Chains A and B, each alone.
Chain A
Amino acid sequence: MKPHSGRLWVNYLALGLATACALFGLGLLFLILYDIVSHGLTSLSISLLTQDPAGPLGRGGLKGAFLGQGLLTLMAALVGVPLGVLGGTYLAEYGRDKKFSKVIISLCDLAMSLPSIVIGIFVYSILVKPLGGFNGWAGSAALAVIMVPLVMRTTESMLSMVPWTLREAALALGSPYYQVIIKIVYRQAASGILTGILLAIARVAGETAPLMFTSFNNNYFELNLNRPMPSVTVSIYQYAGSPFDAWIGQAWAAALMVTVVVLFLNILGRLLVKVKKA
């Protein structure tokens, strides 16, 4: 019997408890993943992607919703990415060390932490109410508002990691600052910024709350952004709340698709950083 066997006992007990917690937590999270996959696969069929919605008894799909979600996300990225990258460039380059930039960085952190429903409500009041109805533009705008601070913040931190001497070396050769930024600094930070963009797209691609009050939903195939725009996530929300098994099944299948896309984008983003490091 060692003189400190009591201490060892406490040690093993506490560490055992931590390990048990870890196993429980990890197990639970993987159980959820398993539930999504198994429920999703049961109802997954090609008609989900090729058919228009049908009544609760028909074999419909969510073709329009998938296209709509893609379109909304694409439009959001077209606006959000340039704004974010340019803004981040100001923070890290022209505005570096300025007090104003520090304020904006704090605002970025605040905007990043905002619940997405708050942004949905905000966009409703500036782009839905005045225009007289739900529309695709508002949905894209809401997603873009979520993206901008995310992209801005990663751009800012990626550019700040590029050593200052690199800029000095290029400036000393006589290139104007904007060319140094575009041709040298951006190139150096490219993979990091791209990862940030991918993660931001992944984040908005699965959003529901900001779309519910902006693009709303639409049972038809719709490419006109002036009209309510169908989306997968809002469809999942509506179908899951319905009493019909066929719709609930489609909600699970769509949820699986959304999960796969979001995880794929996330993994892609992480791989990009890894490849750069290696």
Chain B
Amino acid sequence: MSHEPAEAELKDLITIEELCFFFGDNQVLKNINMPIRDKSITSLIGPSGCGKTTLLRCFNRMHDLYPNNHYEGRIRMENRNILDKGQDLIWLRSRLGMVFQKPTPFPMSIYDNIAYGLKLKKITNRSIVRDLVEKALRQANLWTEVKDRLKESALGLSGGQQQRLSIARSLAVNPLVLLFDEATSALDPISSAKIEEMMVELKKDVTMVVVTHNMQQAARISDYTALMYLGSLVEYGETNDIFTRPKMKMTEQYVAGHFG
């Protein structure tokens, strides 16, 4: 169940190769090539409509829930192509957790929210479930706040707590990757700082891909950053390089706040 200890050299967990994505006839992702490195945080930044959320939703094939779209190219993970027609989506989505902009507590107790993913995986042994729920809540820095009210409805938590609950719920099933879609943009600065802090701690266990509007956030927490514009990847590199020594003129302008 547990991961291998992190290697000194970060290896590529996922590689995106020549990825194109279409809504109907409208091409919204254009020939994207980039790696996602293991046990790291990768930020996707860019102006609204640049395709960063669309790209994020390719990783767990969220687009498959809706009609009239298709993928081209490959997203490789663990020797398989995520975009294969025969890809088992249930397996895939249990390996790549997703956290949304709005907190999404299910209408059940705090405990049952976390245990839900475990139940799907047919993990039903009471004490194992209890341990995994506690572990996930600790990882999400929520345990101390909710440990005495696990049986209460999750809908009674504050916005920030609900978001950490959503994260804990994804963590409980021991995913390889967590996908964050603007996960802090609807929260107040304090709640948002708590989540950032948690994400940095989580790096030892899980790989994260983060879509964000907030450039400071990308600079603060991520190891790698990708700038997208009009469906194309403009530049990918170590966060430090992107923000201080960008190769492309457009990147320089964007991180300086000149457009977007």
Contact = CB atoms under 8 A, between A and B. Distances in A.
Interface of A: 2-4, 7-8
B91 A2 contact: yes
Contacts of A4: 90-91, 120, 122
A8 B89 CA distance: 11
Would you call the interface of chain A mostly helix, strand, loop, or mixed?
A: loop
Contacts of B90: 2, 4, 7-8
B95 to A, nearest CB: 13
A8 B90 CA distance: 9
A4 B88 CA distance: 10
Contacts of B120: 4, 7
7 contacts: A2-B90, A2-B91, A3-B91, A4-B91, A4-B122, A7-B120, A8-B90
Interface in B56-109: 88, 90-91
Contacts of A2: 88, 90-91
Interface residues of B, number: 5
Residue with the greatest number of chain A CB neighbours at <10 A, chosen from B90, B91, B120: B90
Contacts of A8: 90
B122 to A, nearest CB: 8
A7 B93 CA distance: 15
A13 to B, nearest CB: 16
A273 B122 CA distance: 50
A4 B95 CA distance: 14
Give the 3 A-B residue pairs with the shortest CB-CB distance, closest first: A4-B90, A2-B88, A7-B90
B38 to A, nearest CB: 24
B123 to A, nearest CB: 12
A2 B87 CA distance: 11
Interface in B119-145: 120, 122
A4 B121 CA distance: 8
A4 B119 CA distance: 12
Contacts of B122: 4
Nearest to A3: B91
A4 to B, nearest CB: 6
Contacts of B91: 2-4
A4 B94 CA distance: 12
A5 B122 CA distance: 12
A2 to B, nearest CB: 6
A7 B88 CA distance: 13
A240 B122 CA distance: 60
Nearest to A6: B122
Nearest to A8: B90
Interface string B194-235: 000000000000000000000000000000000000000000
A10 to B, nearest CB: 12
A237 B94 CA distance: 61
A7 B89 CA distance: 13
Given A2-B91, A8-B90, 9 more contacts: A2-B88, A2-B90, A3-B91, A4-B90, A4-B91, A4-B120, A4-B122, A7-B90, A7-B120
A11 to B, nearest CB: 9
A246 B227 CA distance: 79
Residue with the greatest number of chain B CB neighbours at <10 A, chosen from A2, A4, A7, A8: A4
Contacts of B88: 2
Interface in B158-205: none
A158 B125 CA distance: 55
A202 B215 CA distance: 58
A2 B94 CA distance: 14
A3 B120 CA distance: 11
Contacts of A3: 91
